[in-house]
Amino acid sequence: MINIKERRKHTRFKCAVKCNMDYYEGDPDSMDITKTRPAKLRGSILDISKGGTLIISNMAVAVRMPVHLTFMLKKEKHERSGKIIRTGLLNDNPSEVAMKIAGLGNKENYYIAVEFDDIITNLSEHDI
């Protein structure tokens, strides 16, 4: 049996939460998001932790780009800024959650992994 060390710092919680995302295009090293108008997309959060989230969407985005997410958890509005750390075609994502969703024939073809700039301090499975 192969023992693969878990790299995540926070427990992930599976969910199905709609979200809005402002994302930016360009060079992340020279971008000033206070002067750049974001593009907008909608997606669905598949899982979330205190430190980040996995989203599916029908649009491709670039890695390392800043994002701003808005979503509801148990009637509480959350807004989180972060950066895209992984993205690609949903069919190419080896995670169990993504593979299950890809098999359902949804219109969302892309996954977007976002790392939050600041953690959600009191997130538990009861908040989902």
In tens digits, what is the pLDDT along the chain, a chain of 128 residues? 444 445 667 888 888 899 999 999 888 888 888 888 999 999 999 889 999 999 989 888 999 999 999 999 888 899 999 999 999 887 776 666 555 565 555 566 788 999 999 998 888 888 88
| CATH code, domain carrying 102 | 2.40.10.220
Query: Does the residue 2 lie in any domain?
Result: no
Kindly state the tokens that stand for 30: 């020279």
Structurally, the chain folds into a number of domains equal to: 1
Q: What is the pLDDT of residue 5?
A: 45
Query: Does the residue 8 lie in any domain?
Result: no
What DSSP state is assigned to residue 126?
A: G
Domain that holds residue 99: 13-127
Query: Does the residue 4 lie in any domain?
Result: no
Phi/psi at 123 (nearest 5 deg)? -95, 130
